[in-house]
C-alpha cells in the first residue's frame, strides 16, 4: 500500500475520553473512530488487523472440523421465548419491533437460532457430532460501554456451536476446540492462559475462559507457580490448610472493644493480626414455601474475602446471594454486624476451610462493643459445616497440589462451554439414537471476541511510542520510509523497486510516499501504528550502499547492505 493512496489518520493528541491504553492507541494510530457510545467504525488500518485475526480464527476453526455458516443479526423473539431467555436476559438484549410490530432482537449470541436450525436439519445420531461456527456482528446493549472496542455494544465475534448424541462426544469436541483456541492465540502471538471458569448465565456444566494477561484486565486469574493450573479467581478452589488444626493454648476471654467494628479496627485495637481473627457474615438461607428465609452465618478468616459465587452454590443458601438486613440481625441475633461471632450463635453456621483451621482466634461476642479472644473450635464454638467460601489469594497452595498460586489480571478473549442439554431440551432438539429412540442432543458453545483480541493485543504489546504488533496481525509487516523521495530520483527508484519486489513476495508493505512528508513525522507514524519492521532509504546511506533497518522492538537501528536488502528483509519477515 502507498501512503499517498491510504488513510493513515494518526493523531498526536491522546483523546480525552479514552481511559485504557489500547483505546487511546487505536484512536491515535487511526484504527477506529467513535460513531456513538459503544459503536465504532473500523478505519483501514484497524480493519487490516481485524481481518488478520479473523483469518487465523477461520483457519483454525476449519482445521478443527467446524463448518462456517452465517446466521442473521436480527432474530425473532419466538425462539428466545422457547428457550426462556426472552424473559431472563436483561436489558443488554436489545429488543426491537419491525414495521408490522413483530418482536425481534439484535443477536447478542446465537444459541437459539442454531438450535432451531439443527433440530430441523439433523435427525439421526449418524449426522453427529456436528460443529458450526460463524464470524458475525453481535450487539449487546451494555449499560456503560467503555474501553473502545474492548467493551463495545456492536462487535465482531466468532461463535461456534456443537451438537452431540452424548456427553462423551461433547467432551471430545470440547477438547478439540480447546486445542484450536490454544493454536489461535499462539498463532496470533499472545501471552494468554486457558483458565477454569464459571458457566455464568449461559449455563451448562463445564467451561474454560481464555485470558490475555494484561494489567488492565477486568478479571483476576489464579495460576499455579509450578503446574498448568489456572482458574478465574471466581472459581479457583481455596484448599484447606495443610496439617492438623493447632491445639488450643489460651483461655477464651471477653474484652471490651468500644466502637471497634471492622476487622481492621479490632485488630489494631487488640494489636493482633487480622489473620488470627474471624469475621461473621449473615446471609439469607433458602426459604421453605411461604416461610421467611432463615438466617445463615458465614465465617471467614479476617484477612479473607467472601466469594459470593461459591457461597450461593452451597445447599441451603439463597441464590443469588443476599445479605441479611441489619435490622433483622439486630432483632434476631441481638447485636450489630460489627460484633457478630460464631460462639453461641443460634443459627446455621458455615465456616470457611481456613477459618476452621484457626486456634486461639478473635471474634465478635454477639454483644455490642465486645469481642472474644482465645476462641477455639469445638471447645468454644461448633464449627458446623466447613466449606470453601473465599477467594484465593496469592501464596495459597494450588488446588492441584503443585506449587502455590499467583494472581494476575486478564482480559477474557475466549470462552468455551459444555452447555449440556440446556437449550436442546428447552427447544426439543432431538435425534434418533442407535436404537431408534429419541435423544435430546448435548451441546457445546465456543466464543471468541474477535474485535476484543485486537484491543487485548495492544494492552499486552505497546510502549511509549505506540503499538508493537505481533507479526501475525500487524496491519503492515514492513514500512519503507524514504528521505526526500520527491527530490531524489535515486531514492524514489530504490524505494519503488523494493516496494514492488516485496509485494511480489506477498509482503504487506507500506510505502511512505507522501510528497514532502517529514522524516520524523513518518517515523513517529510507523512506530505509533506498530509496524514490526521499517527501513529508511536516503541518499546518504545509498552513497555508502546501505539502508537503515529497525525492528519495532529494537533499541537501535542497524545498516544493511543495499545489495542484500531483499534477502535480509524476507528472512526477518519469515521470523
Instruction: Give the interface with a copy of itself as residue ranges (CB under 8 A).
Output: 5-7, 9, 33, 35-36, 39-44, 47, 50, 65, 67-76, 91-92, 94, 96, 98-99, 102, 104, 106, 113, 116-117, 120-121, 130, 132, 137, 139, 141, 143, 153-154
**Min. distance of Cβ 169 from a copy of itself in angstroms?**
14
**Min. distance of Cβ 526 from a copy of itself in angstroms?**
18
d(CA 320, CA 88): 14
Cell of 439: 435423544
Give 7: exposed, middle or buried? Use CB within 10 Å, 0-12, 13-18, 19+.
exposed
Give the residue from 194, 238, 222 showing the smallest Cα distance to 408: 222
Identify the DSSP state of 167: H
**Min. distance of Cβ 228 from a copy of itself in angstroms?**
31
SS (H, E, C) 328-372: HHHHHHCCCHHHCCCCCCCCEEEEECCHHHCCCEEEECCCCCEEE
Measured at the CA of 337, the angle between CA 333 and CA 341, to 5 degrees, comes to: 65
**Min. distance of Cβ 129 from a copy of itself in angstroms?**
10
Q: Establish whether the linkage from the previous residue to 320 is cis, with ω within 30° of 0.
A: yes
Give the residues across from 181 on adjacent strands: none
Closer residue to a copy of itself in complex, CB, 43/354: 43
d(CA 277, CA 378): 16
Closer residue to a copy of itself in complex, CB, 44/374: 44
Cα 337 to Cα 121, 279, 327, 363, 418: the distances in Å are 58, 10, 10, 12, 41
The side-by-side arrangement of strands in the sheet containing 370-375 is 253-256, 370-375, 361-364
Closer residue to a copy of itself in complex, CB, 72/316: 72
Closer residue to a copy of itself in complex, CB, 70/555: 70
**Min. distance of Cβ 539 from a copy of itself in angstroms?**
25
Closer residue to a copy of itself in complex, CB, 177/351: 177
**Min. distance of Cβ 82 from a copy of itself in angstroms?**
13
d(CA 275, CA 266): 12
**Min. distance of Cβ 47 from a copy of itself in angstroms?**
5
Half-sphere exposure of 541 (CA within 13 A, CB side): 23
Closer residue to a copy of itself in complex, CB, 72/545: 72
**Min. distance of Cβ 9 from a copy of itself in angstroms?**
6
Give 76: exposed, middle or buried? Use CB within 10 Å, 0-12, 13-18, 19+.
middle
Closer residue to a copy of itself in complex, CB, 113/214: 113
Closer residue to a copy of itself in complex, CB, 117/393: 117
**Min. distance of Cβ 390 from a copy of itself in angstroms?**
34
Closer residue to a copy of itself in complex, CB, 75/366: 75
Helix (H) or strand (E) holding 408: strand 405-420
Closer residue to a copy of itself in complex, CB, 10/404: 10
**Min. distance of Cβ 171 from a copy of itself in angstroms?**
19
**Min. distance of Cβ 70 from a copy of itself in angstroms?**
4
d(CA 107, CA 218): 24
Instruction: Give the rounded distance of the alpha carbon of 60 from its chain centre.
Output: 20
**Min. distance of Cβ 256 from a copy of itself in angstroms?**
52
Q: Which residues contact 3 (CB under 8 A, 6 or more apart)?
A: 510, 511, 512, 513, 514, 517
Closer residue to a copy of itself in complex, CB, 46/397: 46
In the block, cell 445447599 appears at 315
> CB–CB of 223/408 below 8 Å?
yes
Closer residue to a copy of itself in complex, CB, 60/154: 154
Amino acid at each position: 500500500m502507498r501512503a499517498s493512496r491510504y488513510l493513515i489518520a494518526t493523531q498526536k493528541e491522546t483523546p480525552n475520553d479514552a481511559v485504557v491504553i489500547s483505546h487511546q492507541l487505536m484512536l491515535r494510530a487511526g484504527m477506529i473512530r467513535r460513531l456513538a457510545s459503544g459503536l465504532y467504525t473500523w478505519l483501514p488500518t484497524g480493519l487490516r488487523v481485524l481481518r488478520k485475526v479473523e483469518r487465523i480464527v477461520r483457519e483454525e476453526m476449519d482445521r478443527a472440523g467446524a463448518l462456517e455458516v452465517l446466521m442473521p443479526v436480527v432474530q425473532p423473539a419466538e425462539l428466545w421465548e422457547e428457550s426462556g431467555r426472552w424473559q431472563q436476559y436483561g436489558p443488554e438484549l436489545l429488543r426491537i419491533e419491525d414495521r408490522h410490530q413483530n418482536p425481534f432482537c439484535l443477536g447478542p449470541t446465537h444459541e437459539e437460532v442454531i438450535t432451531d436450525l439443527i433440530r430441523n436439519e439433523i435427525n439421526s445420531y449418524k449426522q453427529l457430532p456436528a460443529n458450526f461456527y460463524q464470524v458475525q456482528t453481535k450487539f449487546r446493549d451494555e449499560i456503560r460501554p467503555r474501553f473502545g472496542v474492548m467493551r463495545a455494544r456492536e462487535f465482531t465475534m466468532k461463535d461456534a456451536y456443537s451438537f452431540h448424541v452424548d456427553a462423551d462426544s461433547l467432551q471430545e469436541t470440547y477438547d478439540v476446540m480447546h486445542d484450536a483456541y490454544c493454536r489461535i492465540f499462539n498463532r496470533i502471538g499472545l501471552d494468554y492462559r486457558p483458565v477454569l471458569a464459571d458457566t455464568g448465565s449461559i449455563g451448562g456444566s463445564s467451561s474454560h475462559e481464555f485470558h490475555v494477561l494484561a494489567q488492565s484486565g477486568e478479571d483476576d486469574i489464579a495460576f499455579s507457580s509450578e503446574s498448568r493450573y489456572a482458574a478465574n479467581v471466581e472459581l479457583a478452589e481455596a484448599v484447606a490448610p495443610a496439617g492438623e488444626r493447632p491445639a488450643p493454648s489460651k483461655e477464651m476471654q471477653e474484652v471490651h472493644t468500644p466502637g471497634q467494628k471492622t476487622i481492621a479496627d479490632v485488630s489494631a485495637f487488640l494489636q493482633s493480626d487480622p489473620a488470627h481473627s474471624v469475621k461473621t457474615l449473615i446471609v439469607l438461607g433458602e426459604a421453605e414455601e411461604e416461610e421467611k428465609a432463615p438466617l445463615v452465618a458465614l465465617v471467614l478468616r479476617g484477612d479473607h474475602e467472601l466469594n459470593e459465587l461459591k457461597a450461593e452454590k452451597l445447599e441451603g443458601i439463597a441464590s443469588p446471594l443476599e445479605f441479611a438486613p441489619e435490622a433483622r440481625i439486630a432483632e434476631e441475633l441481638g447485636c450489630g454486624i460489627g460484633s457478630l461471632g460464631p460462639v453461641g450463635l443460634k443459627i446455621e453456621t458455615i465456616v470457611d476451610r481456613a477459618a476452621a483451621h484457626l486456634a486461639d482466634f478473635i471474634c465478635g461476642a454477639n454483644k455490642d462493643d465486645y469481642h472474644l479472644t482465645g476462641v477455639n473450635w469445638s471447645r468454644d464454638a461448633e464449627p458446623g459445616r466447613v466449606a470453601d467460601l473465599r477467594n484465593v489469594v496469592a501464596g495459597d497452595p494450588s488446588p492441584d497440589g503443585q506449587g502455590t498460586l499467583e494472581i494476575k489480571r486478564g482480559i477474557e478473549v475466549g470462552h468455551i462451554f459444555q452447555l449440556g442439554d440446556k437449550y436442546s431440551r428447552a427447544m426439543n432438539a432431538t435425534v434418533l439414537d442407535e436404537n431408534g429412540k429419541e435423544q435430546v442432543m448435548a451441546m457445546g458453545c465456543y466464543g471468541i471476541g474477535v474485535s476484543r483480541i485486537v484491543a487485548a493485543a495492544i494492552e499486552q504489546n505497546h510502549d511509549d511510542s505506540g503499538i508493537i504488533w505481533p507479526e501475525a496481525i500487524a496491519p503492515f509487516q514492513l514500512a519503507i520510509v524514504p528521505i526526500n523521495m520527491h527530490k531524489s530520483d535515486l531514492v524514489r527508484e530504490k524505494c519503488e523497486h523494493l516496494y514492488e519486489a516485496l509485494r511480489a513476495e506477498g509482503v504487506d508493505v507500506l510505502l511512505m510516499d507522501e510528497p514532502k512528508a517529514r522524516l520524523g513525522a513518518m517515523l513517529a507514524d510507523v512506530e505509533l501504528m506498530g509496524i514490526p519492521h521499517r527501513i529508511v532509504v536516503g541518499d546518504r546511506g545509498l552513497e555508502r550502499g546501505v539502508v537503515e533497518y529497525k525492528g519495532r522492538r529494537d533499541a537501535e537501528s542497524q545498516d544493511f547492505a543495499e545489495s542484500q536488502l531483499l534477502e535480509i528483509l524476507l528472512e526477518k519477515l519469515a521470523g
